[in-house]
Structure 1
């Protein structure tokens, strides 16, 4: 083999073989980009058609106006846009993987054959390291397909509570009431509390004094709630008539009565605030004052009520003084003489008592135990 043949082979490689591979790779990239553009256009077109159909059905021009329409229309728009976003992400990842594999096959066909070991390594990596990513993706897909969560929903996902701003293929973004944006992995969402589906209920517990006329207060609260629900401002969002559910608890300080109103989820909190204001005015008109928040009923270890109302037979100081002679005479002697030492103290009211009343006390104190002398009643010690 001479240099001319080597040069000829190199020339053929660069002029034919290499340029052919470059052409194939370029064609694959162009086709992938075109396919991505076409599929994105189809997804956006389908989403736009569904949203436009909902707008025409509800006779509105802006999606923000759907908030006053039936909730099903809002759910359709939210779910459609969320599915469109998730499908777009899946499409991008799938096209990227397929394009890379095709380019590798064009560069060297033997490389794909050697991918068996690499595929096994990737499988092991997915089984150990990347299993959380797969879990996030699958959980996100099922959440969207099953309509568990959608953009604009007010949710409680355990880690955060607030409005859903974005549902991605792996991450869900939730903004709470303070404005903090939480990035929650879909695989870590074990439960979803969605407060934007179906209906909501306003529940107000009101603690009134125990001496209040319960029937009159409940009737007034029901009248105020019914009048407010029938007003022009709120009658479009009230689903059922207000109800009084009765007394929830009874204590010595307060009676807790409960009022419930079934509403649409979009105006639950606004209606609750307005209802509390009207209830306050109604209670002021009736002259009913609410129970202070610091009224607490003390309970014992066994759940019994506080025993502060029980009156003892003896004063605490007298009871302690009465037990002292029993301890001093403990030494085989009967307890009867100890009771005799208390008899002289009973009629003695002033501190300057008679001496005979204090004379019997010293013989009862053993001299071998001097520390016990500090325990008798202070009145006896002063007289001594």
Structure 2
């Protein structure tokens, strides 16, 4: 006869296995439901923000936002990227929690014994993957703080060009030669975004030392103002041009600086047209531009003085007629010329 205790142990095994399977199935089903709910909430929030940006810009699709303010485009890009990051975080967290719960159901004693091994493996992975963690964290801050966006012209130190893709670990930048650079976000220590706000066109024009400076400055200013009034270009120019005056004086040439504030994306086009008009203005004035052996720095490299970011105004500041400040000068003794007369003071 078969031992009743054996049948009892077999029945107990199947009952416990069935309970464990039901517990595992319940954990998996609950995890799937929770992940679905979180994904639904994330999609709902992202969709509401994107649709709000579209309705505010009065467009029907995301691509049409290129005709709307840049802030709306950047908002859509940033929101979708953050939504993708949140979904990935939810998926990874759900998988880890489900595995731990299943292991606690199937092998309750094994979980405690594997604690030390798990800590050692986690420490090893953390040490080996610290660069990846650094890239991901820095990428999240870059996206969340809206430091760069797709289509921006940026200088990341490691690469300079147009941003084609921004992810949590890698930023893709295509330079002027067409090379696509993959820059790790953890390696980015500084970001220069040349597509936000406004830009400044800085032109350093070299003229002969015997040229009439006042006439040259007036001719440069008139050429720049005519560009600012041109219907083709006036929408790209923010403020009226200014002449900052002499930047350097050498024995070969005088360098006069002209600046003009433009929209961020129109700096290069405005600078080319302005150089052409300045050349025509100098030709009409009869000023022959000198040939210099040294390279004249322009733009960011040439803005070396502290007041370059906040230049002095070209118009005179009105002074109260009752209070006029005059600098004190030390009295000068008249010099006696060689013939013994007295030289009048000037």
In 1: Cα distance, 2:29 partner to 2:177 partner: 46
In 2: Cα distance, 1:59 partner to 1:184 partner: 35
1:327-379: per-residue Cα shift (whole Å, max 9, x none)?
Answer: xxxxxxxxxxxxxxxxxxxxxxxxxxxxxxxxxxxxxxxxxxxxxxxxxxxxx
1:61-104: per-residue Cα shift (whole Å, max 9, x none)?
Answer: 45455455444334433332332233233233222322322332
**What corresponds to 2:79 in structure 1?**
80
Cα drift, residue 293 of structure 1 = 4.3
Q: Which has the larger radius of gyration?
A: 1
**What corresponds to 1:232 in structure 2?**
231
In 2: Cα distance, 1:224 partner to 1:283 partner: 10
In 2: Cα distance, 1:295 partner to 1:164 partner: 33
Correspondence list, 1:339-350, <5 A: none
Cα drift, residue 48 of structure 1 = 2.9
TM-score with structure 2 length normalisation?
0.73
In 1: Cα distance, 2:226 partner to 2:245 partner: 19
In 2: Cα distance, 1:73 partner to 1:259 partner: 34
Distance 1:204 1:22, change over 3 A: farther
1:84-130: per-residue Cα shift (whole Å, max 9, x none)?
Answer: 23323323322232232233223322232223203431453255323
Correspondence list, 1:68-147, <5 A: 69-125=68-124, 128-147=127-146
In 2: Cα distance, 1:122 partner to 1:53 partner: 46
**What corresponds to 1:179 in structure 2?**
178
1:196 is paired with a residue whose SS is coil
Cα drift, residue 8 of structure 1 = 6.0
Cα drift, residue 254 of structure 1 = 1.9
In 1: Cα distance, 2:64 partner to 2:103 partner: 51
**What corresponds to 1:168 in structure 2?**
167
Cα drift, residue 20 of structure 1 = 4.1
Instruction: Tell me if structure 2 keeps the 8 A contact 1:67–1:266.
Output: no
In structure 1, the gaps of 5 or more residues are: 297-384
In 2: Cα distance, 1:65 partner to 1:208 partner: 47
TM-score with structure 1 length normalisation?
0.66
Distance 1:89 1:104, change over 3 A: same
In 2: Cα distance, 1:119 partner to 1:197 partner: 47
Q: Which has the higher contact order (CA 8 A, sep 6+)?
A: 2
1:253 is paired with a residue whose SS is coil
In structure 2, the gaps of 5 or more residues are: 296-346
**What corresponds to 1:247 in structure 2?**
246
In 1: Cα distance, 2:244 partner to 2:118 partner: 63
**What corresponds to 1:362 in structure 2?**
none
1:138-186: per-residue Cα shift (whole Å, max 9, x none)?
Answer: 2222223333233333222211122333332322232323333322222
**What corresponds to 2:324 in structure 1?**
none
Cα drift, residue 260 of structure 1 = 1.4
Correspondence list, 1:303-318, <5 A: none
**What corresponds to 1:215 in structure 2?**
214
